[in-house]
Amino acid sequence: MKRLIFILSLALGLGVGAVRADVAPEVLKGLASEDFDAKQGAVAALAEVGDADTARLLKALSDDAVAVAGDKLVIVAGDQVLDAANGKLLKPAPASPDSISLNNSLRQQVDGALAALRLLSTDKAERLAAAKALLADMGDGAALLPLFDKALKQEQDGEIKPILVQLQAQASLASPDAAARLQAVQTLGQSSSPAVKALLLPLIEKQGDTFAEPDEKVRLAAQTAIKAIDGRLVWSDMAGQVFTGLSLGSILLLAALGLAITYGVMGVINMAHGELLMVGAYSAYAMQALFRSRFPDFVDYYVVAAVPVAFFVAAAVGMLMERTVIRHLYGRPLETLLATWGLSLVLIQAARLLFGAQNVEVANPAWMSGGVQLAENLSLPWNRLVIVAFSGFVLLVVWLLMNKTRLGMFVRAVTQNRPMAGCVGVPTARIDTLAFGIGSGIAGLGGVALSQIANVGPDMGQGYIVDSFMVVVLGGVGQLAGAVWAALGLGVVTKFLEGWAGAVIAKILVLVFIIIFIQKRPQGLFALKGRFVD
């Protein structure tokens, strides 16, 4: 009769007093037993009750603080010894209690039960954290099924409830009832998680000559669910590759925008353009160091301060290069190419002298850490989202500069017809310097963005100079729209090709495509408009 009352009490979730009167001695005896199954059953019974007393006892078990003293189960809390049945202080304290040992399986069960008990918390954040933790590693889910049912009945939050439904379904996979297993498989089939797919795969596998899942309907439902999950995973993977390609394209866009201006205005193949990215990245590193030493309370905003600093430092370096070297080599492309390559080596060595030959750490601010979880296998990092948005903002500013200002009109005039622009009073030499400064400054902004997702070192710009030129040539010289389409397109295509053929083959295929494209359309995607184009 007592056994029947115990079972009904668990099913109805009665209060502590009603449960303690009949069940607690049996549970405590099971915990004190040397038999593994008895301990496992006792832990399961504690998880089913789900009150403050059982949570305290489970926490003590997890901390190896439960011991046996004579015929009593006790909790050793420092110098004090508490009765495990009710938490009361024992006076006098029993001498030399023997600790209860847990193997890995029992410890996992205890930790899972503790996490499951937090599902009944009044704090939403605690319930959500517990649900996600159980979803990642639930352990013996069958033992926690009554607690999941109880939590699901009282849960009203729209974010937590779907997780509880999945936890309940995962726990039901071990049910002896075929109908319960079928319902669980159908529920799990709505998931997009690789972990859920891994749970369903054993159901359709054979163990010798028989299937692990004896019921044919459940096996067929598992096959259907696996196919549905695979389909959703494919779309999530594709979306992740597209986003990664867009973030790479955003970096290429920032690198290529400045190159499109300088190459379009002066026709200079600037081999040091990648080092201007490096200048911008080291500007971000310097601002981070300054904020850490002088403004530690505002260190998360160093990247905001680094944006104008990187622009003006890179612009100053670019204008100095144009004034001292490049200006004297106009009309001699081979010599200009060699000279700018020499300047790139000078900048690399300068970075090594100032900051060292090793890569330096540029940490993401706290507000750029983490990401947006769109699916189980699709997370969009905040640092890449910010980079995409930042690239769009820079593009808008450059478009306004080129199309709505007097300087932009002069730059477009020199790009389209330098002799005629000079004849009508445009100061072409000054425009060359300003255009080079603006293009270099934009490259510096690209370096700030690159510092948030890549290592910062003296050689970091070397890997982007060829890609930047490919963007400019493919998009069309001096064309912002062409640079945008070419950068984003190359970024996405490169990421898809890397997943299919590897990084090296992907680079080769992209280069071959651009060579063939330029043979057919030398002006690029967008040609300059005008009566005369050099």
The tens digit of pLDDT for each residue in 212-226 reads 778 888 888 888 888
Residue 222 and residue 186: Cα distance in Å, rounded? 8
- 118-123 LR contacts (CB < 8 Å, sep 24+): 119/147, 119/148, 119/151, 119/155, 119/164, 120/50, 120/147, 120/150, 120/151, 120/154
Residue 173 and residue 177: Cα distance in Å, rounded? 9
58 touches 110 (CB < 8 A): yes
Q: How far is CA 151 from CA 13, 50, 513, in A?
A: 11, 10, 57
Please report the beta strands in 50-140, taking only residues with DSSP state E, as ranges in sequence order.
Answer: 66-69, 72-77, 80-83, 98-99
Q: Which residues of 353-370 are buried (b: 16+ CB within 10 A; e: fewer)?
A: eebeeeebebbbbeebee
Q: Is 209 exposed, middle or buried (0-12, 13-18, 19+ CB in 10 A)?
A: exposed
State the residue for tokens 């910010």.
386
What element of type H or E holds 372? strand 371-375
362 touches 452 (CB < 8 A): yes
**Cβ-based neighbours of 153, under 8 Å, separated by 6 or more:** none
Which parts of 417-502 fold into alpha helices (H)? 418-423, 428-451, 462-475, 480-501
The tens digit of pLDDT for each residue in 310-329 reads 999 999 999 999 888 888 88
Residue 525 and residue 485: Cα distance in Å, rounded? 9
Domain residue ranges in the chain: 2-172, 250-465
Residue 345 and residue 207: Cα distance in Å, rounded? 64
DSSP code for 193: -
pLDDT reported for residue 91? 75
415 touches 428 (CB < 8 A): no
What element of type H or E holds 44? helix 36-49
Please report the beta strands in 124-220, taking only residues with DSSP state E, as ranges in sequence order.
Answer: 206-207, 210-211
Enumerate residue ranges in the chain where pLDDT < 70.
Answer: 1-24, 26, 28, 47-53, 84-86, 115, 136-144, 264-266, 376, 477-479, 523-534
Q: How many helices and strands, by DSSP H and E, does the chain display?
A: 22, 8
Residue 521 and residue 351: Cα distance in Å, rounded? 39
Tokens at 375, concatenated: 């699916």
Residue 127 and residue 280: Cα distance in Å, rounded? 44
pLDDT reported for residue 24? 55
The one-letter amino acid at 249: G
DSSP conformation letters of 117-130: HGGG-S-HHHHHHH
pLDDT reported for residue 398? 87
**Global confidence as pTM:** 0.68
